[in-house]
Amino acid sequence: MWEYITGAIVAPLETFRDVAQKKYWKQGLLLIAVVGLIKGAASVIAARSTPSPFSGLSTTEFPFLETLRTMMQSPSFMLSNALLSGVLFWFLAGAICFGIARLFKGEGTLGGLLAGFGFASSPNLIGGPLAAVLSLLGSPGMLLSSMISLGTGLWVFVLEILSIRESMGISTGAAVAALLIAFFAFFCALIIFGLILSVGTLFSAAGITF
């Protein structure tokens, strides 16, 4: 598996074609899970030097915020959130990209696309730990950490486009369109879920039941 991880970084085109042909989606899923845990651990480390988003609000006026803050800052929540969101995005975005690629006359398989999609996250194995360590170095470290996270994210984005193109046999433009549509759909789903969760929390805090 390690050879495909390094291959995705140094020789992505050949690697994505190979893992797609062999349908290594299980290995891709394992890599996504590892990356999710790394991101979760990085969030735990960064949270120690980052103020809470609710620090300016009074927990006396908004008592439910204390519970929400405690939950969101717990290491178990950060780890599980990063893991689950990573796996969900991998599968849902992969399935959406597969459907769109088929509209563009793509001839690959869902398992092959998911395999390439998983190994496209390989740069996070480098960028994630490095960004986490730098976040401990105060303000300059946080700035460097943000720059590395941004650079790693763009790197992964490009690799995801290449993985879609190589696994489905479509053009680069079609692969970009498929990935952007998948991002938009996933983002909208997160907003809807967040709104439902927020409204439910507010109703619960106000003692309103249905």
pLDDT at 81: 83
pLDDT at 49: 59
pLDDT at 98: 93
pLDDT at 187: 84
Task: From 84, 58, 80, select the one nearest 69 (Cα to Cα).
Answer: 58
**pTM to 2 decimals?**
0.80
| Whether 50 contacts 141, CB under 8 Å | no
pLDDT at 45: 75
The one-letter amino acid at 203: F
| Whether 205 contacts 64, CB under 8 Å | yes
pLDDT at 9: 92
| Residues lower than pLDDT 50 in the chain | 54, 57-59, 210
pLDDT at 109: 93
| Whether 142 contacts 96, CB under 8 Å | no
The one-letter amino acid at 108: G
C-beta neighbour count of 57 within 10 angstroms: 13
pLDDT at 141: 78
pLDDT at 189: 81
* 49: Cβ contacts below 8 Å, ≥ 6 apart: 135, 136, 138, 142
pLDDT at 66: 56
The one-letter amino acid at 65: L
Distances (CA, A) of 157 to 59, 135, 163, 169: 39, 23, 10, 18
pLDDT at 183: 87
pLDDT in tens, 2-35: 899 999 999 999 999 999 999 999 999 999 999 9
Chain-centre distance for alpha carbon 48? 21
pLDDT at 201: 59
